Amino acid sequence: MVTADKKNYIDAVRGWAILMVITTHVGGMFAEMPYPIKKLTNFGWNGVQLFFLASAVTLLMSWHRQKDPNLASVRSFFIRRYLRIAPMYYAGAFIYYVAEPPESGFDIAQMLRSFAFINAWHPDWIPTTPGWMVVPGGWSIGVEFSFYFLFPALAALVVTLPRSVLLFVASVGLAVAANHAGADILKDYGATAVNNFLYFWFPNQAPVFALGFVLYFIITNTSLKITSKPTAYGLLAVTVASWFFVAEYPFATNRFDWGAGIPPILIVSISFMAFIFILAKGPETLFTHPWIRRIGVLSFSAYVLHFLFAHKIPDWSFGLIDRHATGYTAIATGIALWVLTATFTLLGAAAAHRWIEQPAIDLAHRLTPSRRRVFAQAG
């Protein structure tokens, strides 16, 4: 069902996702960057949805390799998911507490909520209100864990392409209803905090994971192939061009809501589905170069660490990187900061992967039955 180069293209997808995320957070350091460039750097925010799609596909690949998933498989799944994410996440919490101490001080309740990965379920916990963000960007990890909690049941029930389409339709209905109810229940928090929260939380992101189910069944259709490298490049060019359209188009809202039209999160995710499909079913291209695949292997540690370098390098630059730069100076300075952030992030991620992530993965191997080691690198 799954092609032999599965790992290559999935790592490449993760590589592009983390580079997009780094781009948006570096761009966010320059408030006066020229508008068209600022809009393009902002698009990198959607790299999180690329991560979500890749997660759904790889977990389904692993799940369906098992001949008879059972309770032991579910237990192994959760052990492996926890050990794949928690050690580096907890290390990140310590690093940020030391490097960027929270102005509000230590809050054990907030720490425990983040460590239990329920931090994306309330405006005060993400936080979209003033408070301690235990790990910057931790909202997406909380959302990912919400998906993990549901995954075994969904994987057992959604076993065909038509069912995956039904799952997507149901998830959109859930997102619309949940966002409508959430806006009413949380209105006292203020429009900005509520709007941000309703974008971040799991119900609004659930359709993206559901599209990952749809994509999995499309990818595993062996009759669908892209055999020509020029064709693959042509399709990739069209797909990437669509990202520029989304980046520049003035959408009203980025969440599923009554009468709000099609949210860009959905348009982008469908475009990302095409991107992943081309990488999965086509020949090797520069988009799956070994360097980008290596970045993908390091992507989780890089996600945790990149905020630190994006925030701190300007302070360490003796004024050479000016966050208040404008015009072409802002663009050139932004590029310099991007290069430095990406370089130091990947160096740190390589060390973290070796000394934190890999030992935890090895421990998961020892704690779960060897015949189910299929989950070792998924997600």
pTM across the whole model: 0.93
Alpha carbon distances (Å) from 202 to 50, 146, 332: 15, 7, 37
Query: Over the chain, what HEC string results?
Result: CCCCCHHHHHHHHHHHHHHHHHHHHHHCCCCCCCHHHHHHHHHHHHHHHHHHHHHHHHHHHHHHHCCCCCHHHHHHHHHHHHHHHHHHHHHHHHHHHHHCCCCCCCCHHHHHHHHCCCCCCCCCCCCCCCCCCCCCCHHHHHHHHHHHHHHHHHHHHCCCHHHHHHHHHHHHHHHHHHHHHHHHHCHHHCHHHHHHHHHHCHHHHHHHHHHHHHHHHHHCCCCCCCCCHHHHHHHHHHHHHHHHHHHHCCCCCCCCCCCCCCCHHHHHHHHHHHHHHHHHHCCCCHHHCHHHHHHHHCHHHHHHHHHHHHHHHHHHCCCCCCCCCCHHHHHHHHHHHHHHHHHHHHHHHHHHHHHHHHHHHHHHHHHCCHHHHHHCCCC
Specify the pLDDT at position 318: 84
How far apart (Å, rounded) are the C-alpha atoms in residues 86 and 141? 10
Give the domain ranges of the chain: 6-375
In the chain (379 residues long), the average pLDDT of successive 10-residue segments reads 59 97 95 88 94 97 78 86 97 96 91 96 90 94 97 95 98 96 92 92 97 97 88 93 80 80 90 96 93 96 97 90 91 96 98 97 85 44
Which residue, 57, 106, 115, is CA-closest to 85? 115
Specify the pLDDT at position 20: 97
Specify the pLDDT at position 103: 87
Specify the pLDDT at position 158: 96
Alpha carbon distances (Å) from 123 to 135, 277, 317: 15, 35, 35
Specify the pLDDT at position 375: 41
Specify the pLDDT at position 373: 44
Specify the pLDDT at position 69: 67
